[in-house]
């Protein structure tokens, strides 16, 4: 608790991270898969001396550079900005653990950007072999960037043996590493084909060239679908116990997981029967439908991956309320308000009468007037609960979740937050802090709907 909370009304700050992250990854994965597609297809066009196809690939490369480099870079910066504000402790922890990994990723990113610009802006100037080489350098560096970041995001879900042996490579090559690399590589290849279909369906008028692209882009897309299914099964197999329990405990997540596998299978069948066997099926409507299905499934997968990690941001390392798991005993002993740099400073500045030197006197908290206790209860809510909940409106608003709850019901639930719902961190407050939080929650709990008994 060494950072203040960044409060985002209605949406909550973690949901803002999620929105920006999804907007980024659906393009960032195209940056990987599209690079592989362009490298392979430029080589094919040179080998077959297909100048119309080569001309189209240059046209697609412009679309690719504009979307992945410009839009991708902006949203990538947006992710760092939001996670630094919304999850500062988790961000700091991951930076410290993976300093070498981030350094490698930055190198691959620079190589990727330089190679992309040379590949496109020097199109037609170097000899075909050199041009192809730049395409493969871009594709390789983009994929390595994906691998490194996947190792870090996989660590957030299952650190594995790192918890006993805090070694960089043990953390990076965690149990989720291979399954998630397979899923993300497959997703990158599949999304690239869907972007190609979307671009070609609207830009190409030559039916022969459009059919060629439809058939050739179908092959990597089919491979991508298979990798997603295989990696998805591995992802589930290597879920830590609490994440699997969270998945099984949520009917919404269970349905969404089944939907992803079903959608991927449907896309595979449609790819095989459509562009692969019948390239003439490719049309703007078909391309839009494919794109919506692919992006929808991919975004849903991102949501599930994040959701099953609760109550942790980094499994067994950082809790959702910005506390290291190793800090829990100390916080419980000293009190929640006392343990936080910013909470304690707020109490000292607003209620000096409850302070004895630099310490908060718990008994004096009970003597505060009711409105002041509610105010401190709100402060506790902001630091303990704001990571997942808004108040009376917005994402997972507790006012709605507690509809009709009496103070006694709330009072019986607060001390057992982590037991009542495995998605929630354990309650870490003292009895006095419990009562203040109860009074605040009771003040925002909405009444029971009319007509219900």
Tokens representing residue 263 in the block = 């959608």
Q: Is residue 294 part of a domain?
A: yes
| Rounded distance between C-alpha atoms, residue 445 and residue 411, angstroms | 13
Among the candidates 294, 319, 344, a domain finishes at: 319
Q: Is residue 2 part of a domain?
A: no
The per-residue pLDDT for 96 is 95
Question: 334 with 433: CB under 8 angstroms?
Answer: no
Tokens representing residue 114 in the block = 């330089």
Question: 408 with 438: CB under 8 angstroms?
Answer: no
Q: What does each C-alpha distance from 74 to 13, 40, 229 come to in angstroms? A: 19, 27, 31
pLDDT at 1 > cutoff 70: no
pLDDT at 430 > cutoff 90: yes
Least confident of 80-84, 408-412, 446-450: 446-450
| Rounded distance between C-alpha atoms, residue 72 and residue 30, angstroms | 10
| Burial (0-12, 13-18, 19+ Cβ within 10 Å), 92 | middle
Q: If we measure between CA atoms, which residue out of 213, 54, 212 comes closest to residue 132?
A: 54
Q: State whether 283 and 393 are in the same domain.
A: no
Select the more confidently predicted residue: 155 or 76.
Answer: 155
Q: What are phi and psi of 344, to 5 degrees?
A: -65, -40
The per-residue pLDDT for 106 is 93
Q: State whether 312 and 332 are in the same domain.
A: no
| Rounded distance between C-alpha atoms, residue 229 and residue 421, angstroms | 30
Cβ partners under 8 Å of residue 338, min gap 6: 344, 359, 360
pLDDT at 299 > cutoff 80: yes
Q: Is residue 302 part of a domain?
A: yes
Average pLDDT across the chain, whole number: 92
pLDDT at 340 > cutoff 80: yes
Q: State whether 304 and 410 are in the same domain.
A: no
The per-residue pLDDT for 39 is 96
User: In which residue are the tokens 């653990």 written?
Assistant: 97
Q: Can you tell me the mean pLDDT for 74-102? A: 92
Q: State whether 402 and 289 are in the same domain.
A: no
Q: pTM of the full predicted structure?
A: 0.91
The per-residue pLDDT for 103 is 96
Q: Can you tell me the mean pLDDT for 157-176? A: 95
Q: Is residue 450 part of a domain?
A: no
| Rounded distance between C-alpha atoms, residue 69 and residue 49, angstroms | 29
Tokens representing residue 222 in the block = 């089919």
pLDDT at 129 > cutoff 90: yes
Q: State whether 96 and 73 are in the same domain.
A: yes
pLDDT band at 32 (very low <50, low <70, confident <90, very high): very high
Q: State whether 308 and 420 are in the same domain.
A: no
Q: What does each C-alpha distance from 395 to 12, 15, 33, 156 come to in angstroms? A: 7, 8, 33, 23
Q: Which stretch, 174-188, 230-244, 298-312, 322-336, has highest mean pLDDT?
A: 174-188
pLDDT at 338 > cutoff 70: yes
pLDDT band at 15 (very low <50, low <70, confident <90, very high): confident
Among the candidates 270, 301, 319, a domain finishes at: 319
User: Helix (H, G, I), strand (E, B), or coil: what is residue 230?
Assistant: helix
Q: What are phi and psi of 319, to 5 degrees?
A: -80, 165
The per-residue pLDDT for 59 is 94
Q: Is residue 453 part of a domain?
A: no
Q: State whether 94 and 28 are in the same domain.
A: yes
pLDDT band at 41 (very low <50, low <70, confident <90, very high): very high
Q: State whether 291 and 402 are in the same domain.
A: no
For residue 51, what is the domain's CATH number? 1.20.1630
Q: State whether 381 and 276 are in the same domain.
A: no
The per-residue pLDDT for 251 is 87
The per-residue pLDDT for 353 is 95
pLDDT at 451 > cutoff 60: no
Q: What are phi and psi of 358, to 5 degrees?
A: -105, 5
| Rounded distance between C-alpha atoms, residue 88 and residue 94, angstroms | 10
Q: State whether 76 and 135 are in the same domain.
A: yes
pLDDT at 452 > cutoff 80: no
pLDDT at 90 > cutoff 80: yes
Query: Using one digit for the tens of pLDDT, what is the confidence trace for 276-286?
Result: 999 888 889 98
Q: Is residue 346 part of a domain?
A: yes
Percent of the chain having pLDDT more than 70? Answer: 99
User: In which residue are the tokens 């597609």 written?
Assistant: 37
Give the number of C-alpha atoms closer than 13 A to the C-alpha of residue 85, restricted to the C-beta side: 14
Q: If we measure between CA atoms, which residue out of 4, 2, 3, 5 comes closest to residue 388?
A: 5
| Rounded distance between C-alpha atoms, residue 409 and residue 413, angstroms | 6
Q: Is residue 449 part of a domain?
A: no
The per-residue pLDDT for 453 is 58
Q: State whether 358 and 315 are in the same domain.
A: no
Least confident of 37-41, 298-302, 322-326, 434-438: 298-302
Q: How many domains, in total, are found in the chain? A: 2
Q: State whether 297 and 276 are in the same domain.
A: yes
Q: Is residue 8 part of a domain?
A: no
Query: Using one digit for the tens of pLDDT, what is the confidence trace for 43-52?
Result: 999 999 999 9
Q: Can you tell me the mean pLDDT for 209-228? A: 93
Among the candidates 304, 319, 334, a domain finishes at: 319
pLDDT at 157 > cutoff 60: yes
pLDDT band at 388 (very low <50, low <70, confident <90, very high): confident
Q: Can you tell me the mean pLDDT for 85-102? A: 94
Domain span holding position 164: 13-319
Tokens representing residue 76 in the block = 């990538």
């Amino acid at each position: 608790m060494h950072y203040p909370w960044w409060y985002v009304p209605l949406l909550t700050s973690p949901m803002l991270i999620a929105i920006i992250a999804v907007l980024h990854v659906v393009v960032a994965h195209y940056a990987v898969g599209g690079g592989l597609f362009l490298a392979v297809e430029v080589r094919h066009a040179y080998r077959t001396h297909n100048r119309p196809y080569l001309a189209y690939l240059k046209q697609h490369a412009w679309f690719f550079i504009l979307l992945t480099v410009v839009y991708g870079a902006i949203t990538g910066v947006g992710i760092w900005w939001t996670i630094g504000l919304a999850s500062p402790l988790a961000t700091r922890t991951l930076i410290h653990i993976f300093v070498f990994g981030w350094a490698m990723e930055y190198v691959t990113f620079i190589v990727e950007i330089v190679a992309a610009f040379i590949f496109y802006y020097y199109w037609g100037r170097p000899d075909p072999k050199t041009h192809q080489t730049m395409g493969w350098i871009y594709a390789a560096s983009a994929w390595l960037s994906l691998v490194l970041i996947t190792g870090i995001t996989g660590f957030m879900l299952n650190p594995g043996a790192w918890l006993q042996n805090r070694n960089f490579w043990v953390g990076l090559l965690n149990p989720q590493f291979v399954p998630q690399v397979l899923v993300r590589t497959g997703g990158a290849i599949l999304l690239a084909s869907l972007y190609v279909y979307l671009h070609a369906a609207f830009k190409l008028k030559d039916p022969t060239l459009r059919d060629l692209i439809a058939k050739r882009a179908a092959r990597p897309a089919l491979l991508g679908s298979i990798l997603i299914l295989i990696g998805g099964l591995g992802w589930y197999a290597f879920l830590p116990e609490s994440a699997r329990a969270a998945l099984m405990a949520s009917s919404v997540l269970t349905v969404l997981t089944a939907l992803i596998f079903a959608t991927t299978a449907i896309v595979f069948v449609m790819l095989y029967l459509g562009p692969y066997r019948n390239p003439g099926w490719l049309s703007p409507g078909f391309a839009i439908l494919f794109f919506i299905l692919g992006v929808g499934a991919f975004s849903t997968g991102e949501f599930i991956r994040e959701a099953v990690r609760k109550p942790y941001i980094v499994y067994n390392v950082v809790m959702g309320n910005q506390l290291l798991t190793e800090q829990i005993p100390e916080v419980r002993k000293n009190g929640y308000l006392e343990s936080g740099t910013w909470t304690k400073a707020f109490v000292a500045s607003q209620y000096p009468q409850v302070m004895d030197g630099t310490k908060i006197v718990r008994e004096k908290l009970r003597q505060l007037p009711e409105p002041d206790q509610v105010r401190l209860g709100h402060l506790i809510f902001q630091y303990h609960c704001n990571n997942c909940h808004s108040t009376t409106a917005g994402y997972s608003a507790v006012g709605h979740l507690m509809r009709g709850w009496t103070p006694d019901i709330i009072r019986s639930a607060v001390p057992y937050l982590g037991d009542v719902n495995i998605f929630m961190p354990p309650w870490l407050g003292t009895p006095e802090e419990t009562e203040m939080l109860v009074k605040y929650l009771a003040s925002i709990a909405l009444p029971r709907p009319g007509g219900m008994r």
